[in-house]
Structure 1
């Protein structure tokens, strides 16, 4: 047989096709492997023979035709894909806005990332959903180009914010002139440049208790986030919250002039300069007016509270640089409030010096030393010079007059001191003169304080209340001071302590009756506390004193050993109510009752 003869090959091929079925056996079909028949008789396949299994042909199965999805299902799938893509785009925008927000948080004075806002009457309120992530956290207005999903009704819109901003500029700044706002600045511009100051102004100017509480929580949340989470130390924090702490003053270097780089330095000075971490040369030769306002404002607040309250310890930050800042503010004439700020700080400097004298040491028995009257004479001359420079009394300068009278009251507290050395004690005539001056200062203080309408008590700065408590304490001391030449009956006819407290209670209650303060407010709580203290003092002191005056035989029954300085603890409720209880009441729980 030759290769040219195809018959045998054709015969073999035909035999294989006949003996080998076109389908694999059942075992190979299930295993999805090639099925090769072993031998020409159509016996077992090689795999079944090797595995010693029965080789059975597989049964044919009809193929099921694949059903096509309806057109509506395809549209639904396409819609789901589009929704997924939309969500992914939102996540990308959120991540990007969060990254931008982190970069911009380096400076509180810069803009927050853009946020969404609603349209028509609900526009300009802050949303709480992406992509305006940062604005959602603060509730501040944002970019008006996109619609808002959730509106924050606690933050007033720009129309109302402009009204509140004008109110703050015209009514509050004259009474606390350590914040300067240009007359042409709008709410939109202030928000864009200083968002933290913007929300702080709204928090103190809205006349609704619930809204004030909400905005106050937001301010504290923003401050805590910036200081505790981001660990930021910058100037806008200080200008927005002047009493944030002495640490910020020193960290920012505002307690001293701008350091000057020596023109020529020896190698030793060069090494010291580098070792002290002075790595960058000052870019400015002097502090800005805004920095000086912040420093003297912090000095005023810290000194005021340390002198009139026991809540804050004395912080010795006074230096000649304070007087330099005052001089710069007076000479600049940048804003009218700078003149008022300089006047207040001058009075506070005198008050600091008075409280460093021997008769102001509350932890020791008050007594007079040989140099006391000499110091008193100098202080009295300084007070007279400040009086001559007082501006005319009006609504804007009332706080300056109140603080001046409070300074004089502290000065004339020397009249309540007792000298252990009779040779150095002043005469009874001199003492009575000083007592009369102190009484006149108290009377002048209350005349100014009660000249305000009820709505103006919402505008007064917080340092007014400690000075008011301090004046009440001194009036109580003058009304109970035992001296042969001091006629207590005439004192009470001139300025009656109980009548003054009743008038204060009436004013506070009238403030509490204003719209927005019906349920929760510090004024009605303070009025209630004052009424309890007044009743106690009236029963324990004044009624006993009046009975002793009517019956000379009972004079020994009335014990004057309870000194006025011991009774001053009853007036610490001002600090606790205005700065402690009120904060605890509203910030301890998350809801308003």
Structure 2
């Protein structure tokens, strides 16, 4: 762009101004007085005074335009400066690659050393790329930089393969296209087709980073990006206090597909990131309607004046509100350490507007996911009330079962046919039915009737089994390549259905027909099928690893084997009629723990106790293939997150 001219008075008579009779002077030909006054210079006749100077009786002196020209830099000087900078950078990198003495305790050393927060705010990819280029041309081996970042005792993977701190531009485009397909299952945002990975990174770098983390095909790369995400959150949200839609959408992407970034030795993040997302939502004033926000903004001001007009809520903000409520509801029912975001009329309004505007074809999927989850959340609260004991003056939760089933059926009838047929919606509907039928099953207030059998309770138990069967058939009928993109909530449902089925298979109610239940859905077969699915996923969705690394799917196979080994003795005993006592199962009635509002089966808690050095569980095989490190990790994926870690640290939470 040509710089604007700098005008100065001419020392000599002006050249001829050809502005034309009665027209404005040409560009750069206005007189000195008009130029200083920033007025339009109108010239009547060539070489005559302008209209303004003639009217004011001033001397009309044209000016001479002087353009400020930037000094040209010779190519040699620019090359020399660039070479000096590269030499300094290479010397710094070589200085940081000096051999370090072996650590005294290599096992306790962090394989991903911490960096100062000042450096973490910038993306480390540029420096790492320069480091790779510098070391490749130096006399030191190429993998020396990577060797200094890992413990001496840790197995090394090939530094030339899959050790990049972030995806290449071509990989980023592939990952973004994959994420677009995943958004159909949990459409918390709308990505227009013209948005590329490069443009998304420029506009919303944190969202781009989170998408790359959940879609990366390299386990070492996932671990590196995961550390960067934590530091970015700490720096931008806590240290710099920069709440933004970029941060909120990135956290929602992380929470929506948390199953893809969980693994052994992972620090728990569900409670932390869910609460951070809620905090950012409130900081952006998205949880309330604009009118309500304006009222609270102005009612305590000590000065008057016209208040600003209420903000117009965008569709993107409304999607973020619904997605945040959905994540808090799912994770609160799963973890039990927090509460769901409060439902407001603004959420109802956002659902109505999104369904009416239809900017994205998948907005209706999001709104119906939230509607189904609202009913599931209500059933969960009744389930928790049963476990905690509602008191003598509280109506039994089973009395609400018919009303909730009616709400769910009405919702299903109101859905468009394509939405009702969507498999994620159907999975949520089946699980909602499981939760509704579970209300009242764990309360002892209605077990004794004048006729000895509580028919309503037995009907609910069978309805629960039937709904689990529906969820089971749908989940295992999905194409294998659809499973990696399922939202985290579907994997939560997988384990919760198994827990509920175990509870029904080991109940001591004499009126319950366990043979009928096993013919409807067999828990051991359920576990075997889940194990086979994880094995198939490990072959279809191939993640690149180094020696000693295991993928999520390999860990899932181990978890299913361990669960089966722990539950099989109790299930076999229940099938023979010799049920274990509640004390031998590790729970007793309402005093037991719970996972997502359901009583936790004894072997799960007993296994956790054994891993912490507790009493031996008689249901566990003495020489079975039990790896309690795997069981601890299982609670991070399928059970209450932080369960073992909070107990090991004396009850501390994340």
Shift of 1:363: 3.0
For the pair 1:387 / 2:412, whether they are aligned, the reply is: yes
Q: Root-mean-square deviation (CA), in Å?
A: 4.3
Greater share of helix: 1
The CA deviation string for residues 150-169 of structure 1, in whole angstroms up to 9 with x for no partner, is 99934333333222222111
The CA deviation string for residues 284-335 of structure 1, in whole angstroms up to 9 with x for no partner, is 543111111111111111111111223x311442222221211111111010
Shift of 1:364: 3.3
Shift of 1:382: 0.4
CA distance in 2 between counterparts of 1:501 and 1:278 reads 67
Sort the Cα spacing of 1:224 and 1:313 in 2 relative to 1 into closer, same or farther, 3 A: same
CA distance in 1 between counterparts of 2:323 and 2:235 reads 24
Gaps of 5+ in 2: 1-75, 89-118, 128-132, 137-162, 253-273, 590-597, 609-630, 646-654
Sort the Cα spacing of 1:319 and 1:361 in 2 relative to 1 into closer, same or farther, 3 A: farther
Instruction: Name the counterpart of 2:291.
Output: 259
For the pair 1:516 / 2:548, whether they are aligned, the reply is: no
Instruction: Name the counterpart of 1:544.
Output: 573
Instruction: Name the counterpart of 2:34.
Output: none
For the pair 1:331 / 2:353, whether they are aligned, the reply is: no
Gaps of 5+ in 1: 1-78, 92-132, 142-147, 264-268, 549-554, 585-593
Please give the TM-score of this superposition, normalised by the length of structure 1: 0.65
For the pair 1:496 / 2:522, whether they are aligned, the reply is: yes
Shift of 1:517: 5.1
| Contact 2:172 2:212 (8 Å CA) reproduced | yes
Instruction: Name the counterpart of 1:220.
Output: 230
Instruction: Name the counterpart of 2:205.
Output: 195
Instruction: Name the counterpart of 1:167.
Output: 178
CA distance in 2 between counterparts of 1:224 and 1:270 reads 28
CA distance in 2 between counterparts of 1:181 and 1:278 reads 42
Instruction: Name the counterpart of 1:183.
Output: 193
For the pair 1:139 / 2:125, whether they are aligned, the reply is: yes
CA distance in 2 between counterparts of 1:393 and 1:319 reads 28
Counterpart of 2:636 (choices 562, 570, 576) is 576
CA distance in 1 between counterparts of 2:321 and 2:432 reads 21
CA distance in 2 between counterparts of 1:81 and 1:331 reads 58
CA distance in 1 between counterparts of 2:317 and 2:415 reads 25
Quick check: which has more Rg, 1 or 2?
1
Please give the TM-score of this superposition, normalised by the length of structure 2: 0.59
| Contact 1:367 1:417 (8 Å CA) reproduced | no
For the pair 1:442 / 2:468, whether they are aligned, the reply is: yes
Sort the Cα spacing of 1:489 and 1:503 in 2 relative to 1 into closer, same or farther, 3 A: same
Sort the Cα spacing of 1:468 and 1:367 in 2 relative to 1 into closer, same or farther, 3 A: farther
The CA deviation string for residues 223-271 of structure 1, in whole angstroms up to 9 with x for no partner, is 33322443312222111113333222222111101136989xxxxx999
CA distance in 2 between counterparts of 1:154 and 1:213 reads 9
| Contact 2:288 2:346 (8 Å CA) reproduced | yes
For the pair 1:241 / 2:270, whether they are aligned, the reply is: no
**Count of residues in Structure 1 that have an aligned counterpart in Structure 2:** 446
Instruction: Name the counterpart of 2:19.
Output: none
420-429 or 395-404, larger mean C-alpha shift: 420-429
- The higher-RCO structure (CA 8 Å, 6+ apart) is 2
Instruction: Name the counterpart of 2:169.
Output: 158
Shift of 1:367: 9.4
CA distance in 1 between counterparts of 2:77 and 2:439 reads 84
The CA deviation string for residues 116-157 of structure 1, in whole angstroms up to 9 with x for no partner, is xxxxxxxxxxxxxxxxx999725379xxxxxx8799934333
CA distance in 1 between counterparts of 2:604 and 2:191 reads 39
